[in-house]
Amino acid sequence: MVWIPGGVFYMGDEDDPSLELRLVYVDGFWMDQFEVTNQEFAKFIEATNYKTIVEREIDPKEFPKAPPELLKPWSFVFQKPPREQRFASLAHCQMECSQPVNGACWNHPEGPKSDLKGREKHPVVHICYADAVAYCAWARKRLPTEAEWEFAARGGLDRKAFPWGDEFRPDGKWMTNIWQGLFPYANTKEDGFEGTAPVGSYPVNGYGLHDMAGNVWEWCADWYQPDYSDGLLDRNPEGPLRNPQGPNSGFDPLEPGFPKRVQRGGSFLCAPGACERYYCAARGKGEINSSGIQIGFRCVMDAK
């Protein structure tokens, strides 16, 4: 783990109204240098016999109208469209390319016929919120708050776009694992990776952390609301907000019946012009009992 010294920083993005710039203070804490890997998660499974959410049988009584194939364990897997086509929106494109695959889970990322051979050091994926919490409890750690995550991602830089600065590709160098090429049709793999990359494949930020942008989305402890400042209950308007914990409940107006938690960092399926959420202030969201091939996590630990 890496020590994150804590302090005051500007959270949010002054160019995005939904990411209102706020002065925030966080205490120092320890953070995993890397996203949790397949190798590390396998040790947890072996020690506890834990079964992840997407591996569990689904009770048909809870979903009486669901088709039979969706009552079997499944998770979302990215699938390229068979041909170029016009999508109604980016959200529609992402929905069409993320397909439920029966048997897809952490040790079978693309489905039952896939495995983790050669991917031991890649970040574990197909992780639901409860899975991440269970691992953290076993490891005597916890998930970061959204504020802690953003503070750590910035690496001590003030109001910069990315963990390494404002320039997306300094000297033409890829600094993070995202989609290269025309999304979602062709990935040129300019950095050598089409899916996840082994953790630590890209440079560290100012705090010594790897992959705080791209590779896989990372769960945070906070409930999701579309305007994150709604959950920042500031009792000290003249000074920095101290250690915000997020709202008391989740609400997504696009899917009001599905409570969600915050996800941060973007993933290998982000690309310029498509899911540009690999910058420090960008936010994601995830339904707590759903996951996919681009969703993982890392842990933190209190100073004491």
Instruction: pLDDT band for 236, please (50, 70, 90 cuts).
Output: low
- For the cut 80, the answer to whether the pLDDT of residue 229 exceeds it is no
Task: Write down the pLDDT at residue 135.
Answer: 99
* Distance of alpha carbon 91 from the chain centroid: 17
Domain ranges of the chain: 1-304
pTM for the model? 0.93
Fold of the domain spanning 1-304: paralog of FGE (formylglycine-generating enzyme) (3.90.1580)
Q: What is the average per-residue pLDDT within 82-93?
A: 66
Question: Using one digit for the tens of pLDDT, what is the confidence trace for 238-286?
Answer: 678 999 999 999 999 989 989 999 999 999 999 887 788 999 999 999 9
Minimum mean pLDDT range among 67-81, 177-191, 224-238: 224-238
Residue 205 confidence (pLDDT) above 90: yes
Confidence at residue 262, expressed as pLDDT on a 0 to 100 scale: 98
pLDDT of residue 230: 58
> According to the model, what pLDDT value does residue 89 have?
61
Structure-model confidence comparison of residues 276 and 32, the more confident one = 32
Average pLDDT over residues 283-303: 97
Residues 6 or more apart whose Cβ sits within 8 Å of residue 89: none
pLDDT at residue 292 greater than cutoff 90? yes
pLDDT at 19: 85
